[in-house]
Chains A and B, each alone.
Chain A
Amino acid sequence: EVVLTQSPGTLSLSPGEMATLSCRASQSLSSIYVAWYQHKPGQAPKFLIYGASTRATGIPDRFSANGSGTDFTLTISRLEPDDFAMYYCQHYGDSPLYAFGQGTRLEIK
């Protein structure tokens, strides 16, 4: 069974800085099935990235992602106040069919 482990649990940064969020899988993943979401309290999750590195429609290029195998990364350059939120990686596979990481909280320092 695939387990997605995100690190760090909490990342404290200031606006203008760069954030690097990690998603590590317990076994090698197919990159085309890796996605990232942003989630704020009281709102629905926001679709950011699919296919491990492709930005969803309307997502600014400050958001970038890459990875392969067991290691995937979401990078947010030049943090803006609106970027501070929870971030989740997600994979579609066999077991389980869909898995989310436990999330990384990006908070204002």
Chain B
Amino acid sequence: QVQLVQSGAEVKKPGASVKVSCKASSYTFANHYIHWVRQAPGQGLEWMGWISAYNGNTNYAQKLQGRVTMTRDTSTSTVYMELSSLRSEDTAVYYCARGSVTMGAYWGQGALVTVSS
């Protein structure tokens, strides 16, 4: 069955960077986009961007342009989301999801990123 397994929780200081991984299995990795969605405490879902697993093309939410970078490693079927210049407002659960015009049915389990001094 399709699985997306994310890396674990992270605690970072303001100004630092965090890199969250999302390892895909049981499907043809290159055939799908991977989205990143986050949810801050008490807030709703926020789309961050997507990466094409086929060619690495990306599209980022305007709000995060310049701070977010999504990459992929086709040899390990893993997608990475790196967020830099972290602020307290970036404290959130970060999800990867396999999708296209929707986030689709397959999501990672989520990774909590806490930004605190």
Residues in chain B near residue A63, CB distance under 8 A? none
Quick one: which of B37, B103, B109 has the most chain A CB within 10 A? Answer: B103
Q: How far is the CA of A56 from the CA of B106 in the complex (A)?
A: 11
Contact-residue bracket for chain B: 20 to 34
Across-interface contacts of B45 in A (CB, < 8 A): 37, 39, 45, 88, 90, 100, 103
* Chain B residue, CB-CB nearest to A39: B45
Chain B residues within an 8 Å CB radius of A46: 105
How many inter-chain contacts with C-beta < 8 Å in the A-B complex? Answer: 58
- Kindly state whether residue B102 has any CB partner on chain A within 8 Å: yes
Q: Which residue of A lies closest to B60 (CB)?
A: A97
A96 at the interface (CB under 8 A from B): yes
Q: Which residues of A contact B101 (CB under 8 A)?
A: 32-33, 35, 50, 92
Q: Which residue of A lies closest to B61 (CB)?
A: A96
C-alpha spacing A103/B39, complex, angstroms: 12
Minimum distance in angstroms from B111 CB to a CB of chain A:
11
| CB within 8 Å of B: which A66-109 residues | 86, 88, 90, 92, 96-103
User: Contact: A45 with B61, CB < 8 Å?
Assistant: no
Contacts of B15 in A (CB 8 A): none
Beta-carbon contact of B59 and A97 below 8 Å: yes
User: Which residues of chain A are within 8 angstroms of B44 by Cβ–Cβ distance?
Assistant: 86, 88, 100-103
**Other CB < 8 Å A-B pairs besides A96-B61, A97-B59, 16 of them?**
A35-B101, A35-B102, A37-B103, A45-B45, A45-B107, A46-B105, A47-B104, A50-B102, A86-B44, A90-B45, A92-B101, A92-B102, A97-B47, A100-B47, A101-B44, A103-B45
> Which 4 residue pairs spanning A and B have beta carbons closest together?
A44-B107, A98-B47, A92-B101, A47-B105
A-binding residues in B (CB < 8 A):
35, 37, 39, 44-47, 59, 61-62, 95, 97, 101-105, 107-110
> Interface residues, chain A, CB within 8 Å of chain B?
32-33, 35, 37, 39, 44-47, 50, 56-57, 86, 88, 90, 92, 96-103
